[in-house]
Every structure is written in C-alpha cells, then in structure tokens.
Amino acid sequence: MKKEIVVNSTSSETRIAILEDKSLVEIYVEHPENERMVGDIYKGMVENVVPGMNAAFIDIGQEQNAFLHFSDVGESDVLYRGIIEVESDDEEVSPVKRVLEKIKERSDIIVQVTKEPFGNKGARVTTELSLPGRFLVLVPNAHNIGVSKKIESFKEKKRLKNIAKDIKPDGFGLIIRTVAEGKEEQLLKKDLKGLLKNWNRIHTKTEKEKAPKLLHKDLGMASSVIRDLFTKDINKVYIDSRKLYRHILGYLKIVQPQLIPRIEYYKQQMPIFDYFNIESEIEKLYDRKIWFKGKGYIVIDHTEALTSIDVNSGKFIGKKGHEENSLKVNIEAAREIARQLRLKDIGGLVVIDFIDLEEEKNRKKVYNEIKNKLKKDRAKTSVLEISQFGLIEMTRQRIRPSLLFTISDPCPYCKGTGRIISKETIVTKIEQWIKRFKLASKERRLILTVNPDVADFLVSGNGNILLKLMFKHWIKIDLQENQDMRTDEFRFFSKKKNADITEEFIH
C-alpha cells in the first residue's frame, strides 16, 4: 500500500491529508486562533469538586472549566478516603465515592489535556502527565516501561525494553513508540535527553507561575502529525509552505535525518489539494448521503447524543435473491462506513442500521467486515454484533470534535439544524480560486463580493487577511459587500472585462 501525507498551509488554516493508494482516508484541519489543545499542560486551580460526579472542574484559563474525573488522577498523587460507606452482603465496608486529599477547592493542580473542548463542554484533563517524543514517551512520577503493541516481534520488544531499562531515569516511566522499532540505543538516548530538558523547563515554570497558566504547549498540528504518523510505511510527505517545510526539515534533522529525502516542497502553481484530487473529496464531506461501490449509499446524521448511519440499497438491483443482494450492499457499506469514520473523525456512540438479513452467518460476515476494516483506525473502537433489529452499536474514541464541526459553523438561517462552511474555510476557498485564476490569466485587478460578515473577517481577522492575500499573490482586490449573499458564497469580477468570472475557476 502506498501511503502519502499532503500538507496545505494557507493564511487561515492548515490542512493535512493522509492518502492510502491515492484515496483520502484522514484529514486534519487547524485554525491559527483555535490551535489543538491535546497534550498541553496547565497549572490550574480547582474551581469546585462534585463528589456525586466523581469529578472536579478545573480553571485552566479557558472559556469553560476543564473536567477532571477521579479516574484520571494518577496513583502517585492520590490519598483516597471513603466519604460514604455502605455494608455489602459479606459485611465488608467499601467506599463508593473517592475524594483526593490534594483536590480541594481553590487549590492548585497540574493537569494535561486529553480531549479537546466540544460544544459547551470544557476540555477533559488528567493529572497523569506524559511528554511524547519521536521514539519515546516520558511519564513523570511513574516507574513502568511499556512497548507499543504494534511492534509484533517478541525479540525486538525485548531488545527495546532492555534499552529502556538501561536509560530510564529514576522517578520516570517510559513508553517505547512504534517508530522506535529497529532504532539504536544512541537515538533513543538523544530523544530522552530532549524530553528531560522539556520536563525540567515545565517543572521550573510550575514553581514560578500562578494559576491558571499554560506551562507547556504541545507541537502544532503539522509537526505533531509528522512526529506521530511519519513512520517507515509513509512513502512521501508533500508540503506547499516553505516556512513549514523548513520547520519540519529542522525537526527531522534532529530526530531522524534519514527520513529527510521523503519530504518534498511542493513548488507548482496549481493548488496542492487540487493536484492530489483532495479538494473534490473534501467537498463531499458536507454531504449526508454518500454513494459507494455497488450503487448503494449511506446517510450520516449527527445528533447531540450519537451519530446514526443508515444503509440503503439505492440503485442496486442485483441478479440474486434478496438475502444475497442485501449482504453484498451491507459488505460494501461496512467498508465505506469504516472509511468515513476515519475521514470525518466521528467519535462517541455510533449506531448503524444495516439492511435486514435473515441468516445469522450473513450478519456475522457484515460484523467481521467492519471489525477488520476498523483495524486500520488509530482511534480506539468497540463494536457490538448486529442485533435482531439489524443494528450495530459501536463507540469510537473521541479526542477532538468531528471534522464537520471544525470546518463548518452553525447555520444562522436554520438555527443550528444544518451546517455551512466556516469563515476560515471560505477564505481558503477564495485563496484556492486566486491560485487557479493566476494559472490561466495575467490580469491582476479583481473585485471580490462577499457577505458583510465575511468582509469584516477578511479585513479584521488574523491581521487583515485580505491584505496578506494581495501581497502573497501580487494581485489587487477591491472588496465589496452584499447583504443578500450567504456567508459561504463569494463572487469574483474582472475589472478588465467587467464580468463575473467566478465559475471559470471554481475547480
């Protein structure tokens, strides 16, 4: 299988696509003003403790307080005491609620973000800190050594574990990452040295800073994807930003210089996502209905509690009986559903309504198919077998909001029942349009007409985005507002021709 990473960086967002045999399977989007929080370490203040929820709410300086469940508190920090005692049948007294002696209201606490804020919920945090490097994960206040389950060779696992025993400093645990497979001790030592330097800096800030305070910011999305996903099975990484390209080169020179030949700076004028046929795939992300091979389709709907997926036979007629035809559609649907879960980064509870099958062996085939396809997914999944109603219930690890909620805003016209693309994404579309226009025309004076809200965002958001676009692409753009236009629309007019030329360069 050929695997590639394609990075597109614009003035309004960074997008990273993962391709498997030229097919888009994962996409990450990050906006400058809304950077990822997972991995960040804060000195927080306990706002309140809620024993009934076995949780505390921590002020980390964000809009919403972070959520700390008692199960996410490290053993090294814990002094448990039962505050409600009940008698069991064998007269043993056991605590049903636990309170950490250190977790008292208005007290300081060091926490790390494990899940991004979502909706009206704050970030989820833990006191079990960890610092990921290229080959190792450093775990302060721990003693254990772990080896990635993805390293299958018992001999290699033993070798790496022995190295970890030799280099592990007192008072720390170590986890050996998948990319450490086959690497020499010296390389792991170098990675550990950098992690310890980082930890000492964090520890010093812990003593000095007043809560709430960010103590450590994890790598940006592009760098973290390179750190976590750029493994030996990645054939090539393409980057269209010279600044980001140099930054990642600098990082690889330190941690793994042999991978540098696989990094390529994309110099062509055609937008990089157009060249790799990714842009058209992203457009489909907004669709509820997704057709798949075999002429069937699935419908994906997001609700507050869960995501529902309905399987339909669509145009498929088939030459066999109903059972065989339904099985074929369900198998194809299972493959596409596994892909869509990764692609749209759908997390939480998912309920899939497959076409009814009479035979148990056929239901088992559908279940096995989706289980096997989900093995490629880095997120943790748990799948139940098909129920008598033809439903599969499953959960998928949610670390950040689904991609749909990253690249779109609540629609002001339908009061949240639908979605439109975000202002950051419309800016990206405008810039992609300009790139296509420049490929075909030498004209350098245009009129851009947009909704007033988008116009305001262009001139005031992120340091005058419009001005940056004009300087970057050496083109003069006069901005006009049109109250009748939606926020996800834009129109370009040629000053020379005095005509609307938008459609000529949409794709």
pLDDT tens digits, one per residue of 310-340? 999 876 665 667 888 889 999 999 999 999 9
Cβ pair 168, 159 in contact under 8 A: no
**Does 490 fall in a domain?**
yes
* CATH code for the domain of 483: 3.40.1260.20
In a domain, 332, yes or no: yes
Place of tokens 């996410």: 72
Last residue of a domain, one of 280, 315, 331: 280
Q: Calculate the CA 220 to chain-centre distance.
A: 12
Q: Are residues 211 and 224 in the same domain?
A: no
In a domain, 415, yes or no: no
CA geometry: angle at 1 spanning 20 and 373, to 5°? Answer: 65
- Domain match, 461 and 375 both: no
CATH of the domain at 225: 3.30.420.60
Strand partners, 18: 5, 26
Is there a single domain that holds both residue 264 and residue 238? Answer: yes
Same domain flag for 384 and 480? no
Mean pLDDT of 1-24: 90
Q: Which of 240, 260, 280 is the last residue of a domain?
A: 280
Task: Count CB neighbours of 400 within 10 A.
Answer: 18
Which residue in 85, 77, 37, 35 sits closest to 56, CA to CA? 77
Domain match, 209 and 224 both: no
Lookup: tokens for 15? 């997008």
CA distances from 464 to 14, 328, 423, 459 (A): 18, 53, 14, 4
Of 433, 410, 414, 436, the residue nearest 423 (C-alpha): 410
* Domain end among 378, 396, 414: 396
Kindly tell me if the per-residue pLDDT of 90 is higher than 70.
no
Crossing angle for the helix pair 185-208 and 242-255, nearest 10 degrees? 110
Residues 200 and 69 in one domain: yes
Same domain, 178 and 199: yes
Per DSSP, the three-state class of 342 is helix
pLDDT, tens digit (0-9, with 9 covering 90-100), for 164-187: 999 999 999 999 998 899 999 998
CATH number assigned to the domain comprising residue 332: 3.40.630
Average pLDDT over residues 279-301: 86
- What's the confidence (pLDDT) of residue 96? 30
Residues forming beta bridges with residue 7, ordered by sequence position? 16, 239
Least confident of 286-295, 410-419, 430-439: 410-419
**The total number of structural domains that make up the chain:** 4
Stronger pLDDT, 408 or 372, i.e. the higher one: 372
Could you report the per-residue pLDDT of 359-395, keeping only the tens digit for each? Answer: 999 999 999 999 999 988 888 999 999 988 889 999 9
For 146, the 3-state DSSP assignment is strand
CA 37, CA 121: separation in Å to the nearest integer? 14
Same domain? For 239 and 205 the reply is: no
Percentage, residues of the chain above pLDDT 90? 55
Same domain, 110 and 206: yes
pLDDT at 294: 65
Q: For 411-479, give the DSSP string.
A: -TTTTTSSEEE-HHHHHHHHHHHHHHHHHH----EEEEEE-HHHHHHHHHTTTTHHHHHHHHHT-EEEE
**Averaged pLDDT for residues 184-201:** 93
**For residue 252, is it within any domain?**
yes
What are the Cα distances from residue 274, in Å, to 245, 277, 339?
A: 19, 5, 21
- Range(s) of the domain holding residue 232: 3-36+218-280
pLDDT of residue 415: 58
State the pTM of this model: 0.74
Q: With respect to residue 413, please indicate whether it lies within any of the assigned structural domains.
A: no
CA distance 500 to 494: 6
Find the mean pLDDT for residues 399-407.
70
At 97, the pLDDT band (50, 70, 90 cuts) reads: very low
Are 234 and 262 a contacting pair, CB within 8 Å? yes
What was the pLDDT predicted at 86?
30
Q: How far apart are CA 507 and CA 501, in angstroms?
A: 12
Does 314 fall in a domain? yes
Q: What does the alpha-carbon distance between residue 468 and residue 461 come to, in Å, rounded to a whole number? A: 11
What is the per-residue pLDDT for 75? Answer: 61
DSSP class of residue 121 equals: B
Q: Is residue 101 part of a domain?
A: yes
Specify the DSSP element, H or E, that contains 309.
strand 307-312
Indicate if 301 and 320 belong to the same structural domain: yes
The kind and range of the H/E element at 367 are helix 360-373
Beta pairing class for 263-265 and 234-239: parallel
pLDDT tens profile 109-129 = 999 999 888 777 899 999 999
Query: Considering only CA atoms, which of 445, 405, 401, 409 is closest in space to residue 427?
Result: 409
Measure the CA–CA gap between 13 and 33, rounded to whole angstroms: 9
User: How far, in Å, are 152, 350, 385, 401 from residue 375 at the CA level?
Assistant: 15, 17, 16, 21
Q: Which tens digit of pLDDT belongs to each residue from 135-145?
A: 999 999 888 99
**Model pLDDT, residue 416:** 62
Per-position b or e across 285-298, b if 16+ CB within 10 A of its CB: beeeebebebebbb
Question: Do 496 and 470 belong together in one domain?
Answer: yes
Q: Please tell me whether residues 81 and 207 are part of one structural domain.
A: yes
Quick one: pLDDT band at residue 252, thresholds 50, 70, 90?
confident
At residue 199, the pLDDT reads: 94
Q: Domain for residue 404, yes or no?
A: no
